[in-house]
Structure 1
């Protein structure tokens, strides 16, 4: 599979604003959380921001690989599970954080581990939307999001000169 033609580059400033917007949405929902489970690697940065904003100190990771070559999504591979303490009661009171839900494969796997947890992500694509409870921005399924930790500063060709 080749990269989609639509590109959505996200700067550090924009990502920080979007992660804080997610924290605002979670805060205004009136629900409190006693722990965060972040989906690594993409969920690490938003989890740090959201944990600060919502004052959640208990942070756990679930390590799932789905993009094995940085260009196409493959089968999910569980590299590290979630502690038994957080999986009891189906994850009640746990907030799952990820940067993006794309096809929903990773979200589905984490949901099976924590069916009562609240799943939140910064960005969502249509196939993944039904699996998350809260998100900030929806992008089309054929858009590739370039996260700030994957980019350097380079010249960008104007849209009118790029592929149509």
Structure 2
């Protein structure tokens, strides 16, 4: 699939505050579509958005689907580490994830919980058709830098980076 540096030319940093606001906006959209029985949080990225959505929708039944497909630099083939067991076929349940990228994880989740409503905070064009609700779309060549993967440090201006062949 290639490394991050080969697939992504832009970075979209997301702060904790922005993620919270965007997750709350997702909850507002989902509120109108309910009622919901529970949430399946997709680990690890979907845990924080699922927590915000659960709070805002006053849902206490939360299960997880544990699927590994990323590390900090590569996207590989998805592996199911744990299936959601409380949601049955997904009827009346939400699947919450941080992002749908190429759709690999989304296809697994759709097969696992075919009747669930799949919602993500962020969506890219290749994966967007696989989710029912999302908040923000970013281009396919953008790496979303989530707050749990970052720390504050100096970054050169875009123009300087371009002059140095870094942007």
Matched, 1:46 2:49: yes
The secondary structure found in structure 2 opposite 1:78 is strand
Which runs of no fewer than 5 residues in structure 2 stay unpaired? none
What is the match of residue 12 of structure 1? 16
Which runs of no fewer than 5 residues in structure 1 stay unpaired? none
Q: Provide the aligned C-alpha RMSD in A.
A: 1.0
1:90-109 aligned at under 5 Å gives the runs 90-109=89-108
Matched, 1:26 2:30: yes
* 1:101-122: CA deviation from partner (whole Å, max 9, x where unpaired): 0000001101101100000000
TM-score, scaled relative to structure 1:
0.93
The secondary structure found in structure 1 opposite 2:52 is helix
C-alpha deviation, 1:2, in angstroms: 3.6
What is the match of residue 78 of structure 2? 76
C-alpha deviation, 1:100, in angstroms: 0.2
C-alpha deviation, 1:70, in angstroms: 1.6
The secondary structure found in structure 2 opposite 1:91 is coil
The secondary structure found in structure 1 opposite 2:87 is helix
What is the match of residue 119 of structure 1? 118
CA distance in structure 1 between the aligned counterparts of 2:23 and 2:127, rounded to whole angstroms: 18
CA distance in structure 1 between the aligned counterparts of 2:54 and 2:145, rounded to whole angstroms: 23
What is the match of residue 144 of structure 2? 145
Q: How many residues align?
A: 159
* 1:9-67: CA deviation from partner (whole Å, max 9, x where unpaired): 001111110000101111133x2110100100000000000000000100000100001
CA distance in structure 2 between the aligned counterparts of 1:14 and 1:2, rounded to whole angstroms: 23
Specify whether residues 156 and 59 from structure 1 end up closer, same or farther in structure 2 by C-alpha distance, changes over 3 A only: same
